[in-house]
A and B are shown apart, each in its own frame.
Chain A
Amino acid sequence: MHPFEYVEATDPAAAIHAAGEGAQSVFFAGGTTLIDLMKLDVMTPAKLVDVNHLPFSSIEEQPDGILIGANVRNSDLAHHATIREQYPVLSEALLAGASAQLRNMASTGGNLLQRTRCTYFRDINSACNKRQPGSGCDAITGVNRMHAILGTSDYCIATHPSDMCVALVALDAVIHTQMHNGTKRQIPITEFYLLPGETPERETVLNRAELITHVHLPANPMARRSHYLKVRDRASYEFALASAAVALETKGQTITRASVALGGVGTVPWRSKEAEAALTGKPAERVTFEAAADAALAPAKPQHHNAFKIELAKRTLVLALEELMARSF
């Protein structure tokens, strides 16, 4: 691990100021991604600004939704009574991710910035445009069974690893940030992540030293009827091969509104407006779900080892919708 300066921030402005000094500064929250990647020399920050003591640890119920502090731990968010009742997809996604120990450590803000598990990104001896722009992509010609089939480019096919973010995309969460001069902004999560394109090293729209302070979940009656289904190589404690976050509103047997996001298959947490369009106005039955799955995966581009993910993601989405409809409300 490279040497670094450690700074414990006591207020947001000081944290942002500290992170703005020097190009190699990063915020440090749960550390579950950062410390891991620092040990591998994949990340070599010169300064860690510890934001764990900033006052962003509460979950506030507001008239227009729920405001989640960036420091709220994944476990606390997953077990929060209102989240479980009104946004079950988020609780389920969180509990499907990592292990209990990691969920106790990982923060909401940090999970949004979780880095890919691409083995070539994690190995400094491999070519990786995300880690070292211009060096190439060993994953495209290498072992790419776990890699993305949606949103890829000739520069990068790394999968976004988060479960939480897939649920947040389906819930139209809004990310609140604060910047150097005190400026704050609110970024819809659907506009937060950048497709790799020719610059896979740029993963989000965040500026340098821009601090995530909160995540807002808009009030959404449909979210009560939501579900997360994750398919993976092990029964637990494993990243997704495919996952689906779904929410439905029905009138009689007809779907009047739908929200669909996919995980484990995209370079970013993947919202499928195509699937939503295929569901809306149609009867809530298997034929409709299969049509939505076909629509969601129509843009998929498989690599040498991961063509199976197309069918797997379709079946995952269909099963997620069937399981959701089978629940009583």
Chain B
Amino acid sequence: MGQIATPNPTSATVSVTLRINGEERNLQLDPRTTLLDALREQLALSGSKKGCDQGQCGACTVHINGQRVLACLSLAIAHQHDEITTIEGLADGGELHPMQAAFIECDGFQCGYCTPGQIMSAVAMLEEAARQIPSHADELSLEEIRERMSGNICRCGAYPNIVEAIRHAQTIGKKGRS
């Protein structure tokens, strides 16, 4: 049996270690704490957004071991063995990730609230597309991008420019690799 965390009916906390953006972070938290709340409320990593808090909007999208997941439906305590990447960990020092740059270039947002989730989702999406469906690796159709990004809702309706930004980032990525 691995870790056991027994809270008192009141608000007992447990010791949890998370590896976020390459850094180990030690926390004392209530076992009920979601990964999203741990990031935002305890680690001051407020880039990941709380939209619906019930797994329906995608604003809280982060990467766990390279996979895009929803931080609002993840328990922090259950991810102590994992490599967690948030929007704050995407840029390489002062240089924006190509997807971040593409969102700026293509004006892929309006209010910006869903943007960190959109970007984290889009980065993982292009990696999935390259890995899983070789025949589609050249260029994703608009329809495919929209389907693969359907877990990220934009209340402003900035979808056309979000799709454009993703296509742009895909092109930049290809040029960068060649």
Contacts and interface: CB of A to CB of B under 8 A. Distances in A.
Contacts of A75: 67, 128
B70 interface: yes
Interface residues of A, number: 34
Contacts of A99: 58, 150-152
Given A5-B6, A35-B34, A79 B75 contact: no
Given A100-B121, A237-B151, A3 B1 contact: no
Contacts, number: 109
Interface string B130-141: 001100000000
A120 B52 CA distance: 19
B2 A6 contact: no
B42 interface: no
B69 interface: yes
A61 B1 CA distance: 30
Contact of A8 (B1, B61, B70, B128): B1
Interface residues of B, number: 43
A111 to B, nearest CB: 14
A39 interface: yes
Contacts of B30: 3
A28 interface: yes
Interface in A86-102: 98-102
Centre residue among B2, B121, B146 by max chain A CB count within 10 A: B2
A105 B74 CA distance: 9
Interface in B142-169: 146-152
A18 B6 CA distance: 13
Given A9-B1, A100-B125, A31 B77 contact: no
